[in-house]
Amino acid sequence: MNILVISSQASNTGSTLRAEYIYKYLKKVNDNTDYIKPPFKSMPFMMDFIFSLVYNFFRVMNMRYDFVIIVKPYPNTVWPALLLKSRGAKLIIDIDDLDHGYRNGFLSGIISGMQGKLVKCADLLTTHNEDLFKLIIRENPEYKKRVYMLNQCVDREIFNARSTDKAEVKRVKNAYKGRKILFYMAHLNIASYLEDLLQSMRYVDKDAVLLVAGGGPLYKKYVSLARSLGVRDRVVFLGQVPARKAANYIAAADVCLVYYEDLPVNSYRASMKLREYLAMGKNVAADAVGEIKKFKGSVFLSPPDPVRYAKTVNAAIKSLEKRGKKGYKLILEKYDCNTEIKRFYKYLIGGLKTNG
């Protein structure tokens, strides 16, 4: 069985990371699995979508597959995939966010309408959030028996405390000796909400330092904002960091951070970084938005407010309680990539039977 995995977004996004994990673990169970790596990082005005449209058409022109898995329904991947569908491929579209919810007005309507049409090309839809699962069925009732819950999972070959570079972890700890290390990673775009975390740093204990791993279109804006808020001396911008290096920083951290604004769009997210932090048994300070509330007991929870969140971060810093250990067990039970993708592959070779 020949399978192709492809991401609509740029190479430095969380969505593409999801695509890469799907590919990596499908490849383990089916050697005839290919992946088209996005050729560009995020560009202003979404130009990477336009350039990758041409690139993807070129890559698939003479190919044949049984299944094509697309992460996010955008023209730059769905249109080229229609060539493969015309040659017999089953088209699977993964909806991993409510993309139009991050925009306002005309642009939001354009994205919503466009994606609404593109998903109709799919033979199967997948998603990672229970509320999003229900919304997809409400908006696409003809897919009631053709939506599959493909959980947001963790690559435990990378995010595993035993797999870290111990010398590098020690180096990071020594670099900030005598200070509490906070760690946050994200693609720094409109969905990262780093501005709220920077606001929180004004109220976090002064001996804490925040390490921010991630690049993206808002990187320079956030560096400037940290300076204007008077917290630049306590925030270290690491830039884009490879996953294995990020795992070293997580291992060195005292507390890892997750924060989303309390907006409807964030009810449909499944936080990859939350799962990756917990996979390493780390204490996490998060705000109670969307699915994060389901991790109660495994994280230090706060209302979605920068000042109150800072109090939760301070409490997590001082606490002797290891809530991350509970989270680690949860990841092993429900959110391991290897287990999840094996289950998905079994579903595919079973002929796209309904998943309950």
Q: How far apart are CA 58 and CA 13, in angstroms?
A: 22
Tell me the C-alpha to C-alpha distance, in Å, between residue 128 and each of 98, 125, 281.
12, 11, 22
How many C-beta atoms lie closer than 10 Å to residue 323's C-beta?
A: 22
DSSP 149: E
pLDDT tens string for the chain (356 positions)? 999 999 999 888 889 999 999 999 999 999 999 999 999 887 776 788 899 999 999 999 999 999 999 999 999 999 999 999 999 999 999 999 888 888 888 889 999 999 999 999 999 999 999 999 999 999 999 999 999 999 999 999 999 999 999 999 999 999 999 999 999 999 999 899 999 999 999 999 999 999 999 999 999 999 999 999 999 999 999 999 999 999 999 999 999 999 999 999 999 999 999 999 999 999 999 999 999 999 999 999 999 999 999 999 999 999 999 999 999 999 999 999 999 999 999 999 986 544 43
Ramachandran region of residue 285, left (φ > 0), alpha (ψ -120 to 50) or beta? beta
Tell me the C-alpha to C-alpha distance, in Å, between residue 219 and each of 100, 192, 237, 256, 283.
22, 11, 9, 20, 26
Buried b (16+ CB within 10 A) or exposed e, 248-283: bbbbbbbbbbbbbeeeebbbbbbbbbbbbbbbbbbb
- Cβ-based neighbours of 95, under 8 Å, separated by 6 or more: 72, 73, 115, 119, 125, 126, 127, 132, 136
| Structural domains in the chain, sorted by start | 3-153+336-349 (3.40.50.2000), 161-334 (3.40.50.2000)
111: Cα separation from own chain's centroid = 20
How many C-beta atoms lie closer than 10 Å to residue 162's C-beta?
A: 8
Torsion of CA 59, 63, 69, 70, to 10 degrees: 30
- Both structure tokens of 170: 């020690």
The partner residues of 91 in beta bridges, in order of sequence, read 68
| DSSP labels, 55-99 | HHHHHHTT---SEEEEES--HHHHHHHHHHHHTTPEEEEEE-S-G
- Both structure tokens of 252: 């060195």
Q: What are phi and psi of 26, to 5 degrees?
A: -70, -35
110: Cα separation from own chain's centroid = 23
- Which pLDDT score is estimated for 234? 97
Q: How far apart are CA 50 and CA 200, in angstroms?
A: 37
Q: CA nearest 276: which of 294, 260, 293, 258?
A: 258
- Which pLDDT score is estimated for 354? 42
- Which pLDDT score is estimated for 352? 56
Q: How far apart are CA 177 and CA 152, in angstroms?
A: 34
Question: What are the start-end ranges of the H helices in the chain?
Answer: 14-29, 47-60, 75-86, 105-118, 130-139, 166-175, 194-200, 219-228, 243-252, 272-279, 306-318, 323-334, 337-349
- Which pLDDT score is estimated for 100? 86
